[in-house]
Amino acid sequence: MVRIKHRYLLFNILYPPASPPSLKPTDSDSPPYYVLFSRASPSHLNASLVSTLVRAEIHTLFGDHGLSVTQSSLRVVYFSPTTSTGILRVPRAHFRMVWAALSFVTGIPGDRERGGRGGRDGRSRQPVETNITPCVIRVVRVSGTIRKSEEELLRRARREVVRAKVEGRSTGEDEEPLRIFSEKEKQKSTLTSLTDAEEEGIIDADEEDEAIDMSD
């Protein structure tokens, strides 16, 4: 019996503003610039729409072949519109193909205006797309198991919470929460520090899969 092997892509959807950032000091009440990039997704965006966008982009870039080799295993196993974060399950042999397709997504179609049945001609009105929201999809981690992706998702969420809390405080006030967060990360891993975790590769090695590959 052959086990189907997958990769799990942890991705973030960023929403860059239409105009470049101003070099002038902003109002103290305005949100930090990184918050504008990491804002919540539109309310109509869900896992089904994300999957449709990815499949359409794969077909555009790689044609019928790309769609056929990724169709069976491609599935959005987690998506949060609040944090604009998701986990995508893809076939291990073609995960770079899906990664490339995610990188080429440039916008999210707006919600559709759906007409009811019963026009004068007796036909239903076709859905009409509204404006497109520009976006960038960034893959931040490639893992061999969903557990590793979930751990990385929680780690990044905690880091963003700390970052948001220290935003706007004085230098002395910033050091304490950052120190506490760093100590918690060191307790979980004695081999790497918080800085090392940021600099490590984006692709996790699946030890189980590597052991199987070496025996072949």
CATH number at residue 155: 3.30.70.3250
**Residue 157 confidence (pLDDT):** 83
Name the least confident of 15-29, 37-51, 136-150: 15-29
Within-domain flag for 213: no
Please compute the mean of the pLDDT values over residues 82-93 and round it to a whole number. Answer: 92
Model confidence at 117, pLDDT cuts 50, 70, 90, reads very low
Within-domain flag for 210: no
| 152-192 confidence digits (pLDDT tens) | 988 888 887 777 777 655 445 445 555 555 565 555 554 44
Domain count for the chain, please give it.
Answer: 1
Full-model pTM:
0.67
CA distances from 140 to 3, 7, 8, 106 (A): 26, 13, 11, 17
**188: domain range?**
6-114+122-205
Name the least confident of 14-18, 95-99, 199-203: 199-203
**Residue 192 confidence (pLDDT):** 44
Within-domain flag for 170: yes
Q: What is the mean pLDDT of the chain?
A: 74
Within-domain flag for 99: yes
Q: Which of 177, 1, 202 is nearest to 102 (CA)?
A: 202
**Residue 112 confidence (pLDDT):** 65
Cβ-based neighbour number of residue 153 at 10 Å: 20
Within-domain flag for 215: no
Name the least confident of 8-17, 54-63, 147-156, 206-215: 206-215
